[in-house]
Amino acid sequence: MGGRYKIKTLRGGAMPQEKLWTKNFISMAAMTFLVYFIYYLLMVVIAVYSMEVLKATPSKAGLAAGIFMVAALLARLFTGRYIEQYGARILIYASLLLYAAILPLYFVIKDINLFCVIRFLHGLGMGVSTSAMAIVVVKEIPHSRLGEGLGYYALGGTLAMAIGPLFGMYLYHNYGLSMNLYLCMALAVIILVALFRIEISNEKADAKKLEEFGHGLSSYFEKSALPIAFIGTLMFFSYSSLTSFLAPFVARENLAEAGSFYFMFFAIAALVSRPPMGRLYDEHGNIVMYPAFLCFAAGMFVLGAANNSVALFVSGALLGCGDGTFCSLGRAIAVQGMPTHKYGLATSTFLAISEVGTGLGPFFLGMIIPLSGYRNLYHLMGVVALLAMVVFYWQYHNRKF
């Protein structure tokens, strides 16, 4: 089964598996979890803090919350090229130091405009650090275990998404933003201590290899990774309907209490499904992506029809399986057939372009809701996921790597 999808592998027979759980892999996964945990501790309270304490208008508060991810997106566009030009070590060190150094400024900045500036700088630190660490991990994972390794590595972000918002809201509502920041700074210290205790290769591409990237804006994108990146844009566009409009939807349907647990089911499903789906990918290749698209679409259709908590939780589990698998294996597909010195460019291309869907989704979906209502919106997002599957079939069904 899946012969035409199969990628080159060393698995099978009596041949031993190549080592996955190295010190660097574990350290990078742990640091990625902490970086995202800090992000979620603050993300869920920035808008309300801006309005309550900084007296910002709702639009300025939204800018303070959203400009972080705009900066992260811009940073990811350039990280893939610069990591090959300057090496991973300097980018990871500089970005994580910036990420930690910005935190104390949250205490002293009381002007909303300056607050937006430090949020932008903070987003740059996260964008470069998470992209650079992901690129290092992609290069270090044995090729025969790439899907499995990325599945495990991506668990850090998923776990942070599951518990970060809960901690963030609890601390803010009981102790104010200061307690969120104290915890964030403590975690940042742990990140920096871990950072200076591991060895990060500073290998750079030689001049001949850099010349392969070309010049101008196109040199920051890997052309062969664009198809899966644009498919990711469709998937992230659909996913943005959850992050932006799930809360008003469940409130309107009198499911607000159940809705508060929605992302817990989402995260648990992603945590459970990613490692086995990664192993299946290593054994059977791209065919494993089709269940991910179908689970995601089914989750959207169930959500659109949900009128009780059980249906809501089933939707969360289906979407967690689908989204979790796509996010981790999409990175693996982005680097399929790439020489090692292009892994960084391919990875950053996938991450940056995919997240355009996250950024544009709320704006366009907000215009659709008055015409469609929430239920039809989620049905439509299920159709978008199926469209993404059709595009994937068209691009990758007969593709050789």
User: Residue 5: which pLDDT band, with cuts at 50, 70 and 90?
Assistant: very low
CB distance 196 to 298 below 8 Å: no
DSSP percent split of the chain into helix, strand, coil, nearest 5: 85, 0, 15
Domain co-membership, 126 together with 171: yes
C-alpha 132 chain-centroid distance: 13
Domain co-membership, 149 together with 262: no
Q: Residue 207: pLDDT above 70?
A: no
Q: Which two tokens stand for residue 288?
A: 């494993």
Q: Which two tokens stand for residue 82?
A: 């610069």
Cα separation, 30 vs 207, whole angstroms: 33
Question: Does some domain include residue 105?
Answer: yes
Q: Residue 398: pLDDT above 70?
A: no
Q: Which two tokens stand for residue 14?
A: 């009596």
Return the minimum-mean-pLDDT range out of 92-101, 115-124, 131-140.
Answer: 131-140
Cβ-based neighbour number of residue 392 at 10 Å = 23
Domain co-membership, 62 together with 184: yes
CB distance 142 to 19 below 8 Å: yes
Question: Does some domain include residue 15?
Answer: no
Return the minimum-mean-pLDDT range out of 5-14, 45-54, 240-249, 340-349.
Answer: 5-14
Domain co-membership, 206 together with 236: no
Question: Does some domain include residue 10?
Answer: no
How far are the Cα atoms of 145, 258, 295 from residue 299, in angstroms, in the given order?
Answer: 28, 16, 6
Among residues 213, 242, 269, the one where a domain terminates is 213
At 210 the pLDDT is 54
Among residues 184, 213, 242, the one where a domain terminates is 213
**Tens of pLDDT, residues 294-351:** 999 999 999 999 999 999 999 999 999 999 899 889 988 988 877 777 777 788 788 8
Which of left, alpha, beta for 141 (phi over 0: left; psi -120 to 50: alpha)?
A: beta
Domain co-membership, 238 together with 279: yes
Domain co-membership, 174 together with 35: yes
- Helix and strand element counts for the chain (H, E): 16, 0
| Three-class DSSP category at 154 | coil
For the segment 191-220, the average pLDDT, to the nearest whole number, is 70
Question: Does some domain include residue 12?
Answer: no
Question: Does some domain include residue 5?
Answer: no
Domain co-membership, 157 together with 285: no
Q: Residue 194: pLDDT above 70?
A: yes
Answer with the residue of higher pLDDT: 66 or 50. Answer: 50
At 145 the pLDDT is 85
Domain co-membership, 299 together with 396: yes
Q: Residue 8: pLDDT above 80?
A: no
For the segment 118-134, the average pLDDT, to the nearest whole number, is 92
Cβ-based neighbour number of residue 335 at 10 Å = 29
Domain co-membership, 190 together with 337: no
Domain co-membership, 173 together with 240: no
Q: Which two tokens stand for residue 294?
A: 């179908």
Question: Does some domain include residue 278?
Answer: yes
Cα separation, 105 vs 109, whole angstroms: 6
Q: Which two tokens stand for residue 107?
A: 């205490």
Question: Does some domain include residue 1?
Answer: no
Domain co-membership, 302 together with 383: yes
How far are the Cα atoms of 67, 240, 245 from residue 231, in angstroms, in the given order?
Answer: 24, 14, 22
Question: Does some domain include residue 90?
Answer: yes
At 161 the pLDDT is 75
Domain co-membership, 206 together with 343: no
Among residues 152, 181, 213, the one where a domain terminates is 213
Q: Residue 216: pLDDT above 60?
A: no
What residues contact 24, with CB distance under 8 A and at least 6 apart? 136, 140, 198, 199, 200
CB distance 120 to 71 below 8 Å: yes
Please state the domain count of the chain.
2
Which CATH number does the domain housing residue 152 bear?
Answer: 1.20.1250.20
Can you give the residue range of the structural domain that contains 179?
20-213
Cα separation, 347 vs 83, whole angstroms: 11
CB distance 352 to 70 below 8 Å: no
Q: Indicate the DSSP class of residue 81.
A: H
At 3 the pLDDT is 36
Cα separation, 260 vs 316, whole angstroms: 11
For the segment 44-71, the average pLDDT, to the nearest whole number, is 81
